[in-house]
Structure 1
Amino acid sequence: MRHINISVIFIKTFSELFQENQKNMLKIIFRSLLCIVAIFSLCFNMVGCDFKPKRSPYVLVNRLGDNPATLNPILATDAESSSVLEYVYETLLKTDYKTLELQPMLAEKWDVSDDHLTYIFTIRKGVTWQDGVPFTVDDVIYSFERIQDPKVDAGRLRSYLVDVLSVKKINDDQVEFKYKKPYFKALEIIGAGMPIIPTHIFDNGEDFNTHSADRKPIGTGPFKFKEWETGQKVELERYDGYWGKHPEISGIVFKVIPNSTVALQLLKKGDLDINGLRAIQWAKQTESKVFNDKFNKYHYWIPNFAYIGWNLKKPYFKDRKTRIAMTMLLNRQEILDKLLFNQGEVVTGCFYKFSNAYNHDLAPYAYDPEEAKKLLKEAGWADTNKDGILDRNGIPFIFTYIYPTGSTFSRSLGLILRQNLYKIGIEVKLMPMEWAAMLGRMRDRDFDAVSLAWSLGFNQDPYQVWHSTQIKEGSNYIGFENKEVDKLLEQARVQFDPKKRDEIYRKVHEIIHYEEPYTFLFTTPNMIAVSKRFTNVQQYKAGLDILEWGVTPVHNLIQW
């Protein structure tokens, strides 16, 4: 397709103006402006007009729904940060996309003692950080020490390393981890779950939680940091000194696009190469021949669930009956059908629905407004002052529902919740929040209700979300506390028999379902569109691995 380069025409027009006689200047300017207007009009009505700069076809343009909270892998807890960091930083081991088995990464081999208490890793030789400094065993130990430092905001990672007794350097090539007691995920956590950071960058006297490297990361991965324009994009470029196989993709640009509708428009226009699709986009807005000539679509399940979390430390949600009433006031199946076009399944608990840990004997709480009213009355809620709002102990039932800015589903869900609760005398205030601010509110436990989702591992351990020790600084943001659940979670951690561990988790599921600290919503599939410019795009159990993708050589692309 032929392209018109408007910048050349524009410059040429004004260059010619100054070569004319002075007496014709105004006439020519007027005609030139008319010409420019005509050209812009023509250009905007032509498909493929590239009056903007071009970009390399070897650069993958992806989307972030919001700004990353940080680019420090030890501090990061959000999906946006992780989406960027997985290409910059590495771990000792990695999980194979196809088999889900552990494979060598920064460690070339490892040994585990028969009692599951000692783990020795031999690090890979010849690996350098992206500034050229060699990677060493000392970096592994330093990374562990930062996670364990109570001054560091690493509660999420620390909760998985509580039983590590010691870490020591055996020699320049080997590091040893010793555990107090066995843990079924120990190898996975210290091998593939503990990010390794450079000692020489972070150990310079700066506050770790606000370190300058949090915005300018230096890792050992296949891509290195290039630029972060807050609110606009994060850009990575291929690291030519990478120890492993070099990806064919030369760079990745993550554009911050909160609105999913805008993101789909940009995808269709060619300004994005890959994008997650909402259910309506998958079912209704990407079915045309034009779209499918340009993009391949992928649909697969990975462990996740969406939920509304009720802050149990707030007076509204302290009791079980009130929380169950909240769930009974939401018609989850109807929401699934109408908002998500049936792309998902209603869940009753925190485990992956297609795993043996999920308790399939439990039925979802039914949509039943009348039963919900009854439960609220039993819980002590009544309109004692006849103002139309339920109250209890002098506290009106008015709460705030926070959700991520740009989440169309969370907003729609909030509107439905507000409408349903208003009918029975409960007022819901909706508050969209930027991601970093929302995470801050959750860390401070300063919220009433929150709409979010958890992305789970295939090999699940929900300790960080549900154990009472995680209320203060872990991911137990809602303040759930149950002694029986604590005991079961601790038992599961030392159980290496998957069948017996699943039995324990099904009991955990049963208790949490009974208490209903979340309104559990749905598990949903990943629905992805990828430009056909990329080749060898394989769909695995763990998703898509862009590091193995090829690129079809084409002309430079339009940069809108």
Structure 2
Amino acid sequence: MTFFKKKTFRYFRWFLHDFIVKNSKTIFLSAFISTIVIVSSITVSPQIIQLISSRNQIIGYDFSVRIDSLPEEINNKISNGLLFVNNKGEIYPLLASSWEKLNNGLTYRFHIKKDVLWNDGTLFTVKDISYKFKDVAVKRIGNYTIEYTLKKPFTNFPLYLTRPIIKYPYIGVGGLYSIDRIKQKQGIVSEIHLASNRKDLSPILYRFFDNEAQMVSAYKLGTIHEMTLNKKNLADVFLTWSNTEVIKKTDYSRLFTLFFNYNNPLLKERELRSGISSSIDRSKLESLGMIADTSISPLSWAYNNTIKQNTYDLELAQKIIYKYKTSTDSGKLNVSTYYEYLDVADLINSDLKSVGLSTNLNVISNSDSSDFDILLTYMKIPVDPDQYYYWHSSQNLANALHYKNLKIDKFLEDARAIESMQERKQIYFDFQKVMNDDTTAVFLFYPYVYTIKRK
């Protein structure tokens, strides 16, 4: 048996050798062509995928969402609110046709447009308006009039009627798009397909990824056409891509800020807070965003451009910190931030140490966000300059910071009750000056964001 096995093996070896010798050119050419095809398919696959899906916009997000909390960008595409506010704070009717104030500014009466349809074809009436407010009485008059009565005058109330009105299961009214289908698993959304309600608009597909690295890989493979990055070094990779454009913008809706915990006796000292502000070299932050002076956006009609700019003054900062050195040495200040802002926090913490402050840099989660002396995070800046929810002593953030300033409280209350924009503007000018003089917080920068998209 062993003899026959060896003989058979030698036979197949000789046969294979003769076959390769006789057909070597054909085999080599086939291997060469196969290699070219494989390499070419890998190289041009993004272009092929893009060509196949060129009719769709495919946009990537680097976070996960639940079915009941879709991003604002999507909600605004599928539906409208009663009103619309532009970047200047000017208000225009959308689903409403007009409105008026009654009862010395306590009652707002809105008349909605007739013959407006939901995306499912049913008629939209005031019975479908689902805004809910605390301490606000709602009265519906017929099918096309609705009244909101407040307990005290609030000039900015119409701004809260700009949120898109959506009914189950995610049906909009008057939107440019409708949700065609949603791909989800256990309530977590992976894809949303939007169908256009107009012939001149292309469908949009949104894809959601667990993290930024997955999203960037998807763009490189061509499975998404557009994404937004927060880090310049990641965006710069695509500057050399001939089929890609990189668009840099300033995100004025977010303001990176150092918040102080006023429960710490040291941080109650205005001079020490001023010293901390002077210790920060803002030139290191210029590549990250537009440097800020106040908590009101420079795009706002209420922005005070006469505010003294926060400057880096190492000598002054060291002098102030030295004055409090005995107290600061007795216990380290906890500088806290979230993981995604750690690179910025490192720069800030380095500056604080350079002037003699003793600090610990901590990464925190949302569950322990109250455990800090100095907190680096961002404020969400509204279009309107009203920042009552941030700084009024009755509100959650002020309570978390243990911050109370009666003068600031008065500014915020008065600005909400006054009709005249010019009078409100003066109040907000004074508000910004007091905040600046008091170094209530250290306002750092509005971050740059980078939109990466196929040409």
TM normalised by structure 2 equals: 0.76
Residues 404 and 495 of structure 1, relative CA distance in 2, 3 Å threshold: farther
Computed over aligned residues only, the root mean square deviation of the Cα atoms, in angstroms, reads 4.2
Q: Which residue of 1 aligns with 2:298?
A: 353
Residues 448 and 263 of structure 1, relative CA distance in 2, 3 Å threshold: farther
The answer to whether the Cα contact below 8 Å between 1:348 and 1:362 also exists between their aligned partners in 2 is yes
Q: Which range is displaced more, 513-522 or 320-329? A: 320-329
Pick aligned residue for 2:165 from 196, 205, 212: 196
Shift of 1:267: 4.1
Shift of 1:466: 1.1
Secondary structure of the structure 2 residue equivalent to 1:327: helix
Secondary structure of the structure 1 residue equivalent to 2:84: strand
Pick aligned residue for 2:361 from 420, 423, 429: 429
Secondary structure of the structure 2 residue equivalent to 1:503: helix
Q: Which residue of 1 aligns with 2:228?
A: 276
Q: Which residue of 1 aligns with 2:109?
A: 120
Aligned partner letter, 2:226: I
Q: Which residue of 2 aligns with 1:502?
A: 425
The answer to whether the Cα contact below 8 Å between 1:276 and 1:526 also exists between their aligned partners in 2 is yes
Q: Are 1:226 and 2:182 matched, yes or no?
A: yes
The answer to whether the Cα contact below 8 Å between 1:235 and 1:254 also exists between their aligned partners in 2 is yes
Which structure would you say has the larger Rg? 2
> Where in structure 2 are the equivalents of 1:473-512 lying within 5 Å?
477-512=400-435
1:527 and 1:52 map into 2 onto residues whose CA distance is: 23
Q: What CA deviation, in whole Å up to 9, does each residue of 1:128-155 have, x standing for no partner?
A: 6566765442332x432xx42xxxxxxx
1:271 and 1:530 map into 2 onto residues whose CA distance is: 12
Secondary structure of the structure 1 residue equivalent to 2:227: strand
Secondary structure of the structure 1 residue equivalent to 2:334: strand
Shift of 1:332: 0.9
2:400 and 2:52 map into 1 onto residues whose CA distance is: 43
> Where in structure 2 are the equivalents of 1:93-242 lying within 5 Å?
93-95=83-85, 101-113=90-102, 115-125=104-114, 135-140=124-129, 142-144=130-132, 147-148=133-134, 164=136, 166-190=137-161, 192=162, 194-198=163-167, 217-220=170-173, 221=175, 222-224=177-179, 226-228=182-184, 234-238=190-194
Pick aligned residue for 2:205 from 232, 248, 252: 252
Shift of 1:461: 1.0
Q: What CA deviation, in whole Å up to 9, does each residue of 1:287-325 have, x standing for no partner?
A: 44x44x543736467455321223334566443334333
Shift of 1:464: 1.3
Aligned partner letter, 1:87: K
The answer to whether the Cα contact below 8 Å between 1:296 and 1:531 also exists between their aligned partners in 2 is no
Aligned partner letter, 1:91: G
The answer to whether the Cα contact below 8 Å between 1:422 and 1:428 also exists between their aligned partners in 2 is no
1:329 and 1:111 map into 2 onto residues whose CA distance is: 51
Q: What CA deviation, in whole Å up to 9, does each residue of 1:251-306 have, x standing for no partner?
A: 331433643x7755654553433333547359955544x44x54373646745532
> Which structure has greater helix proportion?
2
The answer to whether the Cα contact below 8 Å between 1:465 and 1:476 also exists between their aligned partners in 2 is no
Q: Which residue of 1 aligns with 2:392?
A: 467
> Where in structure 2 are the equivalents of 1:321-400 lying within 5 Å?
321-336=271-286, 339-340=287-288, 344=290, 346-379=291-324, 381-382=326-327, 390-391=329-330, 396-400=331-335
1:449 and 1:230 map into 2 onto residues whose CA distance is: 38
The answer to whether the Cα contact below 8 Å between 1:276 and 1:527 also exists between their aligned partners in 2 is yes
The answer to whether the Cα contact below 8 Å between 1:127 and 1:135 also exists between their aligned partners in 2 is yes
Q: Are 1:91 and 2:88 matched, yes or no?
A: no
* Residue segments in structure 2 that go unaligned for 5+ positions in a row: 1-11, 17-26
Shift of 1:504: 0.9
* Residue segments in structure 1 that go unaligned for 5+ positions in a row: 1-22, 74-79, 149-161, 202-215, 384-389, 533-560
Same amino acid, percent of matched pairs: 20
Q: What CA deviation, in whole Å up to 9, does each residue of 1:388-420 have, x standing for no partner?
A: xx22xxxx2141522253xxxx22211122333
The answer to whether the Cα contact below 8 Å between 1:316 and 1:397 also exists between their aligned partners in 2 is no
Residues 120 and 254 of structure 1, relative CA distance in 2, 3 Å threshold: farther
Secondary structure of the structure 2 residue equivalent to 1:521: strand
Q: Are 1:81 and 2:71 matched, yes or no?
A: yes
TM normalised by structure 1 equals: 0.63
1:326 and 1:456 map into 2 onto residues whose CA distance is: 23
Aligned partner letter, 1:176: E
Secondary structure of the structure 2 residue equivalent to 1:461: coil
Aligned residues: 425
Q: Which range is displaced more, 505-514 or 362-371? A: 362-371
